[in-house]
Chains A and B, each alone.
Chain A
Amino acid sequence: MYDSIERKVKASIQSRVGPLGLVRSFLQSWFDLAKLLSKELVLTSYGIALITILELLFLAITVLTLQVFILAPQLQWIAALFLTFLSISSAFSLLRAVCLDNPFSSIGAFREFYITLAVEGFFLSSLAMMLLLEGSVMLRLPLFCIVALSCYVLSGRTPFDIAEAEPEIASGVYIELSGPLLAIATYSLHIKRYVLAEILSYALLKLIGITSTSFALLVVLLLTPITWIIFGVISVMLGRTRVDVGPITLLKVMLILMLFVFISMLLMVRQA
């Protein structure tokens, strides 16, 4: 539903109409998925189908564990579980692209790999610190910046949609998928975007220190669509980066932010 709203908002920025009518303004992406599911199933290999389904499964579990953690943040093992599931689903996404016997898919996979290399390590470690540690605003701020940037990058929107890059590499990692399989992969992407938007919303609460309230989940659920739409609006303003520019720039930004994190941690240790 958020994807449908994003499309409507993007359309208005681009002087287009977008999905027509009230129902389609909210549910166009569901209509698209239903249509794809009704198409014939063309399998280039059973392995790809299995990986695509597993990716969706692990993302679904990731969403559930995230909700449980937000409800009960004191259960830190759930946070560990959530981060593990998030990593596994990301690995499946990469694996699917690498396994396809298509040069465009391989190029897309390598591009995704570069982006993942530049971001994922910093993202998971920063997220873990944010979820599990209590620190000063000096520490939380750079951590939040890393998480915010990572969430945007990993959501696969421009300028970081280089793994898909439809005009360049004919949809790259999605090139061999069609019909129901493409529907599952697309739905996985939507769920991934939801998880990332929710993580950022929660990180924002954590930054301002109100995660302990009993309404935290409700606030996060209200903030998530706003985060999603903001991501969508940002993506409209930008063009696509290049594989030899984007990941390196990201790496530099991440390293600078991590430097701030370490300085903040050193200051904390010194004060202690």
Chain B
Amino acid sequence: MSAGEVVKEIEGKVVELGGIVESITETAVFVEVPRERVRELADWLYNSGAFLKTCAGVDERSINSKFAVYHIFGLDEKGLDVVVKISGLEGEALPSIADAVPAAEWCELEARDMLGLHILGHEAKPRHVLPQDWPEGVYPLRKDLSYDYRPSGNAEKFSEELPREVGLPIGPYHPILHEPEYFELYVEGERVVDVFYRGFHVHRGIEKLAESQRFTYKTIPFLAERICGICGFVHSSCYVLAVERAARIEVPERAQFIRSIVLEIERIHSHLLWLGIAAHILGYDAGFMHMWRIREPIMLLAELLTGSRKTYGINIVGGVRRDMDESKKKRALDVLKNVREEYKKFVEVLTAVPEIVKRATGTGVLPKSDARALSVVGPTARGSGLKRDVRKDYPYFAYKHSSFKVPVYSEGDNMARLLVRVDEVFESISIVEQLLDALPKGPIAVESYEIPPLRKAVGTVEAPRGEDVHFIITGHGRPYRWRVRAPTYQNIPALKVMLRNTPLADAFLTIASIDPCFSCTDRAIVIRDVRSGSRRFVGLFEGRRYASR
């Protein structure tokens, strides 16, 4: 069935359910359905092979006096996004689709926390994103709440006694978690039987900040790049892609090539970084050191091409700010040739170390069915037999000009995810070489553009950790709503499946195997850091109480 036929079928289904098709673009179909029929449509889409990418709650009271939730589905095989809108007045209940599409639970809970939406079925669940001492009735993403709002804090809430029994607390400052997150592992002997996760400790308010007067369309790419310290360019690319799609800006081909090249360089250094860390977790520090040694020329290459080792700052709406000349191309090709040779030699050693093979094989298994239900992304999906890769499924920038394979392993264990990343480094090196060879001449940015308000678009970019999603509703001078869904956000729920029955020693490799980037995930709101000493620490164990409810 062609994409056009699929769109017709979706239109037919939406009309059948009493909804309307708002708009159709090359990459997405935007529909609105009556809220009582959304579950039916979600069920139909999910059973038609769609993955849920995320959902976004939006305060649209200034437009139509309503709140809305946009469920973003992706039909990977057709390269088409289906954005399903439901809306309701303040206080009206909106249905959940989490029972039909389990991957929707987190984003629905987030919409409930951030906008105060009444989502059926989630009423009794504890706060997901907001801290436990956040004031009642204050919803950060409502338009009438200023971006610089600071809650007074209520340290007294943390004065309860510590629970006498706790599982094994992993975090928020554990050597294996390089960012503050909290896992509580329940163990029998050295076998994990259950796991509780509490995230969102590092709230930076990036979505809210972008809607404030301090930012404009032109400056947000630099903010977006700061979502993550490893794959920041992915976020700025995803943002500009969404804006360019919304405003229908034709970006010069040379700029598209440069973006793809830098994205692949980012993927290479991210995977090399992860492989080193995986070796370190397994006690093979020589692997850690050598992998990072091999990574270093890639960092220098990034500096050569963009001017910075990290946080390149070259993405702007309509193109890029920095060009590549012939001498840089030649040096880049030399570096890539050397890196490939060294990497190939060392990977053979790494994948032959007995402890690594034994401990990564058969541990942290994520079956394909669970991977599908949770709509996991990136190497986590590809390690469980799902052939999902935005670069192939929804071609963007210059990827259509390069030939590459999408490595897929069906075992679903830590070794499979490791091997996916090992293979992807080779593919990325090849992509960069191909794109450098074929780099077209021409301008690197459009001279001028206009961004009409209230246009919607979805930008998706394949980050090293998987699909990154940015959803935009354009506004005047800046987005009306900018929703960021990092790949880790989609993969963390899968850890519950992966960690069960895993030996404790391998639990840390399993957590690391999704290559979690907590800073990407925890970008949601502005909170005040209430420095209340040990009382604050008590809050960490609140998860234990919720887990036992």
Contacts and interface: CB of A to CB of B under 8 A. Distances in A.
Nearest to A166: B175
A170 B281 CA distance: 11
Interface stretch (A12-20, A42-50, A134-142): A12-20
A243 B359 contact: no
A168 B286 contact: no
A241 B289 contact: no
A40 interface: no
Contacts of B293: 15
A159 interface: yes
Given A167-B281, A242-B358, A14 B504 contact: no
Interface string B267-307: 00000000000011111111101100100000000000000
Nearest to B505: A242
A241 B355 CA distance: 6
Nearest to B283: A240
A237 interface: yes
B353 A103 contact: no
Contacts of A169: 504
Interface residues of B, number: 30
Interface in B500-527: 503-506, 508
Contacts of A240: 282-284, 355, 359, 505
A238 B353 CA distance: 7
A13 B282 CA distance: 18
Interface in A13-44: 13-16
Contacts, number: 77
Given A15-B293, A240-B355, A158 B283 contact: yes
Contact of B190 (A161, A236, A243): A243
B337 interface: no
Given A238-B353, A239-B359, A161 B503 contact: no
A107 interface: yes
Contacts of A104: 168
Contacts of A158: 283-285
Contacts of B176: 167-168
A237 B285 CA distance: 9
A237 B356 CA distance: 12
A242 B359 contact: yes
Contacts of A244: 190, 503
Contacts of B286: 13-14, 236-237
B331 interface: no
Nearest to A242: B505
**Which secondary structure dominates chain B's binding surface?**
helix
Nearest to A15: B293
Nearest to A106: B168
A245 B357 CA distance: 13
B171 to A, nearest CB: 10
A166 B504 CA distance: 13
B174 interface: yes
Contacts of B284: 158, 238-240
Contact of B505 (A162, A171, A238): A162
A173 to B, nearest CB: 15
Best-surrounded residue of A15, A158, A241, A242 (most CB of chain B within 10 A): A242
Contacts of B281: 167-168
A262 B284 CA distance: 36
A15 B290 contact: yes
Contacts of A15: 289-290, 293
Best-surrounded residue of A162, A170, A239, A245 (most CB of chain B within 10 A): A239
A130 to B, nearest CB: 29
Contacts of A146: none
A182 interface: no
Contacts of A239: 279, 282-284, 287, 353-356, 359
Contacts of A159: 283, 355
B505 A243 contact: yes
A165 interface: yes
A107 B353 CA distance: 25
Interface in A59-92: none
A242 B506 contact: yes
A243 B503 contact: yes
B175 A161 contact: no
Contacts of B175: 166-167, 170-171
Interface string A226-255: 000000000011111111110000000000
Given A239-B355, A242-B359, A167 B280 contact: yes
Interface string A167-187: 111110000000000000000
A221 B283 CA distance: 30
Contacts of A167: 175-176, 280-281, 283, 508
Nearest to A237: B286
B190 A245 contact: no
Given A240-B283, A243-B190, A168 B289 contact: no
A158 B504 CA distance: 18
Nearest to B284: A239
Nearest to A157: B283
Contacts of B359: 239-240, 242
By Cβ-Cβ distance, the 5 closest A-B pairs, closest first, are A240-B283, A239-B355, A239-B284, A14-B289, A239-B282
Given A107-B504, A168-B505, A240-B355, 4 more contacts: A169-B504, A238-B283, A239-B356, A240-B282
Interface of B: 166, 168-169, 174-176, 190, 279-287, 289-290, 293, 353-356, 358-359, 503-506, 508
26 contacts: A14-B285, A14-B286, A15-B290, A15-B293, A16-B289, A104-B168, A107-B190, A158-B285, A165-B283, A165-B505, A166-B175, A167-B175, A168-B504, A168-B505, A170-B175, A238-B353, A238-B355, A239-B283, A239-B353, A240-B282, A240-B284, A240-B355, A242-B358, A242-B506, A243-B190, A243-B503
